[in-house]
Amino acid sequence: MNKNPEKFWIGFDLGGTKMLATVFNHKFQCQGRARKKTRGNEGAEAGVQRIIDTIRAALEEADVQISQLGGIGVGCPGPLDLDNGILLEAPNLGWDNVELKRILETEFDCPAVISNDVDAGVYGEYRFGAGRNARCVFGVFPGTGIGGGCVYNGNIMRGQIHSCMEIGHINVIPNGPRCGCGRYGCLEAVASRMAISAAAAQAAYRGDAPHLLKLAGTDLSNIRSGALSESVQQGDQAVECILRHAARHIGLAIGSVINLLAPDVVVLGGGLVEALPNLFLEEIRDSAKETGLDNLIHSVNVHTAELGGDAAVMGAASWAREIAGQQS
């Protein structure tokens, strides 16, 4: 009889428009996964039930029993109470004060660890991707917003209660455009996909981006990363200029962060970077030199993420195992 049966770990990504659950074995090989769309108009109770159903579907595909689980790691957007595992606010979902850790531990009879979704993605890149074996990994993931995360000496950097590294809310243009947080001139207000899409829609409307106009029109919901990439490939110089301007602002902010953290690796991820990796790498590497100190800039490697959409689930699951090991 095996006295130490293999444990399985679940990584769950609640970010974006879809929720993804993945079951990993002890070697972090995927055994099963399930996806469901998030719904902004459903209440927290219905949303949490969808999380539970998605995890159960992944377990079924993996042919893994609840009794075999070592733990569940969840990457969540929005402000979190990390120790108590409470999703304090998820504006895109309309949820408030959801005790996700308690609910999942009750439902699946195993430890659950809640972390910021970008922190989980950066930890995934540290363990399995572009930041492997680094002392300090700083990650930036431009998307609907701009998320940041840092892994230092193998641990996710965090505040006493909340996650940190909110690079998207560094002020880059005093009295600049209004950000979704209510302040003015944040990096997100000038360099997120939403800001880029709004500027690109104006260019299309003016006739400066004919290919984008044909591809996606001027509706922001249609101007996503793939459409922006295709527009640039087809010759819309106005859209390329908008993207380079945004990437330059991200690079300037990253240079300042490099001065504070001296990371050995900076990882760039998210849909925009995946769609236009060379453009973002080129602009960010160049503009970071304008604000970063020479000796620190020359010792940092800037890479695109390697794990794609699996970064957050792999990071969340492996962080859950790390926490379990620390507590055992």
Closest listed residue to residue 88, CA positions, set 116, 113, 112, 107:
116
Three-point CA angle 152, 311, 154, nearest 5°: 20
Residues constituting the chain: 328
Q: Over range 298-316, report the average pLDDT.
A: 95
> What backbone torsions phi and psi does residue 308 show, to the nearest 5 degrees?
60, -135
Element (H, E) at 174: none
Q: What was the pLDDT predicted at 57? A: 97
* Alpha carbons 169 and 148: distance in angstroms, whole number: 10
Q: Residue 302: count other Cβ atoms within 10 Å of its Cβ.
A: 21
SS3 220: helix
Q: What was the pLDDT predicted at 1? A: 43
Taking only the tens place, the pLDDT of each residue in 206-254 is 999 999 999 999 999 899 999 999 999 999 999 999 999 999 999 999 9
* Alpha carbons 184 and 127: distance in angstroms, whole number: 36
Three-point CA angle 88, 89, 94, nearest 5°: 140
Of the chain, the percentage scoring pLDDT greater than 90 comes to: 84
Q: What was the pLDDT predicted at 18? A: 83
Residue 30 burial (10 A CB sphere; 0-12, 13-18, 19+): middle
Q: Over range 24-34, report the average pLDDT.
A: 96
Q: What was the pLDDT predicted at 4? A: 63
Q: What was the pLDDT predicted at 324? A: 84
Terminal C-alpha separation, the chain: 23
More confident residue, 38 or 287: 287
pTM greater than the 0.85 cutoff: yes
* Alpha carbons 142 and 283: distance in angstroms, whole number: 14
Average pLDDT, the chain: 93
* Alpha carbons 64 and 233: distance in angstroms, whole number: 45
* Residue 146 pLDDT class (50, 70, 90 cuts): very high
Contact 184, 175 (CB under 8 A): yes
8-122+310-327 and 134-305 share one fold: yes
Residue whose structure tokens are 């990882």? 267
Q: Over range 68-86, report the average pLDDT.
A: 94
* Alpha carbons 195 and 63: distance in angstroms, whole number: 43
Q: Domain spans of the chain?
A: 8-122+310-327, 134-305
Q: Which fold has domain 8-122+310-327?
A: Nucleotidyltransferase; domain 5 (3.30.420)
Element (H, E) at 99: none
Q: Over range 103-124, report the average pLDDT.
A: 96
Q: Over range 279-292, report the average pLDDT.
A: 97
Q: What was the pLDDT predicted at 3? A: 57
CA–CA distances in Å: residue 80 to residues 145, 155, 162, 163 = 17, 18, 6, 7
Reply yes or no on whether the pLDDT at 182 is more than 60.
yes
- Take residue 28 and report the two structure tokens written for it: 């972090």
Contact 280, 317 (CB under 8 A): no
* Alpha carbons 315 and 119: distance in angstroms, whole number: 8
Cβ burial 224-241 (10 Å sphere, 16+ → b, else e): bbebbbbbbeeebebbbe
Looking at 2.40.50.100, 3.20.20.140, 3.30.70.960, 3.30.420.40, the CATH number of the domain 134-305 comes to 3.30.420.40
Q: Residue 62: count other Cβ atoms within 10 Å of its Cβ.
A: 21
